Structure 1
């Protein structure tokens, strides 16, 4: 079993599930979601540049790789986050998160019907179980606005694009630190152009806010992104998407621990079902002896 890829994917999911709770603290200090996204990418650039220099990794990339990374950061990062955070203004966070986390389904469907890959019964059953688990996070009282719902759903599609683009365009073969350096560089530039003139980026923030932003940047834009790339390179995009479902579970736990949010029955059931889905995939894959291809076709 490719346990290394699983562990790196879970680590990235835990980080991506935890850092929004930290980011939420900065919002009370004058920051906002789009500004946070810009700074999270921007502050990662010098740290990644230093890592590349210390490891003596050349910055040079091919023109084709640069164009693919630019598209990746624009659609998979800037557009995804912009749509998801904008959807919060129309529907509840619970409903938006639920619709966004349909992306493992989109990845599986794309792999099956676009890339003509064989999906094993284990992956299919895990996805179905996970789907019902994610539905328990749905906030039925605030999911009626069609604009917000479409934004959140499309953010799931664009994030699925992010996962598949890294995998299918061979970007996982690029050094992970180099790839992440160019992703955050392009993303920060795109977010700056897209949000500066709208006044969304906030520079006049207290020191506490900047300290938290830097922590989030190191965790999410470096450790999280690099870990996810390693995970995808080892276990593939579909399996990585399923193990990424640790993210909403981590978000629930973070909300309870940090913000003393109420842990209701629906959230508990959702977490349990998602964990069952992930455990089933891990056990089934262990028995098969591999993650990328299963012997049973659908």
Structure 2
């Protein structure tokens, strides 16, 4: 379990760092749509090279391939696109708060669809993580119902991504094979979407492409892979709670690199999220059952009788 928690924390740190350096792209003429596209596109040759080097099998059963298509396009891509699109309609703080409700959505979905059970420790940790996220995020004007809808869709899609990775056993696939197919399906889908009005501007300064490569490595190669391993080792519900470390890492990197202000509420929120992780880590010691002298005597007598027989 400890290794799964470490993997999920690393994924949260990677996801938290990527939005901070993405601002460099936006300030230099980039846009979210192009960033999402190049994030997946750059990972195709990188992941394929590793797959070929490791001599991994790319052929998968048709049923498993269809599941991969749905998780890649219907979950990963939809979550990324709708989250970035929501920023254009509502305050990013509101959008982020809605998106980070995905652990709640995940628990509800697992209860309704898969009839899973949830223990008290997970519920308490979930409450702390949600309270921490709400404390970190600064709420502004809602701005548009459409923006709220985009943020909800993003949260729902990411919940399904985590849940289906576990339930469909996709987390058991080789990590690089998984990443390769997700990158291919998402890239092809965005190319098909271009005639529908989704603009992708590939004419970017070289600095933007370098930053986008870093974002691709952080979000796809590090974030997605470590999160996938976290889901495999911990399960989707516990991994979703621990991944709430992402807002904390985003705050730390924003303060260090962008000199963003750190308020008391953000510190309290960070403490709440760390508390949630510690609750999941805590394992009560099992009490040793002492055998009474009377019981010991009875056992000894029974053993003697059995030996006589």
TM-score normalised to structure 1 length: 0.92
* Residue 250 of structure 2 corresponds to residue 275 of structure 1: no
Q: 2:97: which partner in 1?
A: 98
* Aligned CA-pair RMSD: 1.5
Please give the residue correspondences for 1:249-264 in structure 2 after superposition, counting only pairs within 5 Å.
249-264=248-263
User: 1:196 and 1:255 mapped to 2: Cα distance?
Assistant: 36
1:197, distance to aligned residue in structure 2 (A): 5.3
CA contact (8 A) 1:90 1:148 kept: yes
User: 1:288 and 1:145 mapped to 2: Cα distance?
Assistant: 51
Q: 2:9: which partner in 1?
A: 10
User: 1:113 and 1:287 mapped to 2: Cα distance?
Assistant: 30
1:64, distance to aligned residue in structure 2 (A): 0.9
Q: 1:89: which partner in 2?
A: 88
1:288, distance to aligned residue in structure 2 (A): 7.5
Question: Any unmatched runs of 5+ in structure 2?
Answer: 287-309
1:59, distance to aligned residue in structure 2 (A): 1.1
The alpha-carbon distance between structure 1 residues 192 and 24, as it changes in their structure 2 partners (threshold 3 A), is farther
Q: 1:128: which partner in 2?
A: 127
Please give the residue correspondences for 1:142-161 in structure 2 after superposition, counting only pairs within 5 Å.
142-161=141-160
User: 1:195 and 1:269 mapped to 2: Cα distance?
Assistant: 43
Q: 2:284: which partner in 1?
A: 287
Please give the residue correspondences for 1:8-47 in structure 2 after superposition, counting only pairs within 5 Å.
8-47=7-46
* Residue 179 of structure 2 corresponds to residue 180 of structure 1: yes
CA contact (8 A) 1:92 1:139 kept: no
Higher Cα Rg: structure 1 or 2? 2
1:34, distance to aligned residue in structure 2 (A): 1.2
The alpha-carbon distance between structure 1 residues 195 and 92, as it changes in their structure 2 partners (threshold 3 A), is farther
User: 1:211 and 1:218 mapped to 2: Cα distance?
Assistant: 11
Please give the residue correspondences for 1:161-240 in structure 2 after superposition, counting only pairs within 5 Å.
161-195=160-194, 198=197, 200-240=199-239
1:241, distance to aligned residue in structure 2 (A): 0.3
TM-score normalised to structure 2 length: 0.89
Aligned length: 286
User: 2:269 and 2:90 mapped to 1: Cα distance?
Assistant: 20
CA contact (8 A) 1:19 1:216 kept: yes
User: 1:38 and 1:103 mapped to 2: Cα distance?
Assistant: 23
Question: Any unmatched runs of 5+ in structure 1?
Answer: 290-298
User: 1:219 and 1:138 mapped to 2: Cα distance?
Assistant: 23
